[in-house]
Structures are given as structure tokens and as C-alpha cells.
């Protein structure tokens, strides 16, 4: 490697500014030598439909070994971006990401944090 020349991946010809980044990249080729397909975008979050009203006999000790567990309902949505949270605490903590407010202060160095 000549001075100033980029580090180039032998499998996909991608260039890197140092050997560390090249080695990290080469680990993504992991065994096959072929380029990995691009990751699919994450699914769009849609609200869940409301639960149907309980029917006669459906109350009681449900939740046996065969019934699937549902994740907790995320019913608290951010007014700014729409992201949903399962409780108000997490929503309030998230709202700080949209402001410059830093309500927490370190008692040692006096630096403030979100």
C-alpha cells in the first residue's frame, strides 16, 4: 500500500480510509465472499385494532401455555413525531429529544442533561 492510497476491499472494491475500517467491513462478507443483499427497511408502525368485547365464558384464568403473549399496548403517542410509548414516563422522557430543555444537572460538575 502506497502512502495516501485508500484501503480497498478485495471482494466488493469498496474503499476505506484505514485498515481497521476495512477489516471491520470485510467481516460483513462473513464466509461467502458474495456481497450481502441490502437490509430491508423496517416495517411501518400501524396502530393495533381495538380488542373485541369479552364474550360469555371468556373471562377467567386464560393465558395458558398455548396462548400467545401480546406485547404491552403502546397507547401514549408523541404529538411531534407520532412515536408511541407504553407509559407516560417514557413519553415524557422522549419529548425532551424535541427540545433544548436539559432538566437534569450533575451535582459534581454542574453540567445539565436531557
Q: What is the pLDDT of residues 58-104, one digit of tens each?
A: 555 455 555 677 777 878 888 888 888 888 888 888 888 888 888 88
Dist. CA 85–CA 39, nearest whole Å: 26
pTM of the model: 0.34
Residue 54 in any domain: the answer is no
40-61 pLDDT, tens digit per residue, is: 776 777 777 777 777 665 555 4
What CATH number does residue 89 fall under?
3.30.160.60
Domain that holds residue 2: 1-32
Return the C-alpha cell found at 11.
471482494
Structural domain count of the chain = 2
Is 89 part of any domain?
A: yes
Amino acid at each position: 500500500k502506497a502512502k495516501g492510497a485508500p484501503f480497498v476491499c478485495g471482494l466488493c472494491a469498496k474503499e476505506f480510509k484505514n485498515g481497521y475500517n476495512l477489516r471491520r467491513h470485510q467481516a460483513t462478507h462473513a464466509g461467502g465472499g458474495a456481497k450481502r443483499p441490502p437490509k430491508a427497511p423496517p416495517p411501518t408502525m400501524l396502530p393495533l385494532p381495538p380488542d373485541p368485547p369479552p364474550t360469555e365464558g371468556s373471562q377467567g384464568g386464560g393465558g395458558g401455555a398455548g396462548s400467545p403473549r401480546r406485547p404491552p399496548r403502546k397507547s401514549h403517542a408523541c404529538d411531534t413525531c407520532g412515536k408511541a410509548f407504553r407509559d407516560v414516563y417514557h413519553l415524557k422522557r422522549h419529548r425532551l429529544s424535541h427540545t433544548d430543555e436539559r432538566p437534569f444537572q450533575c451535582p459534581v460538575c454542574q453540567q445539565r442533561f436531557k
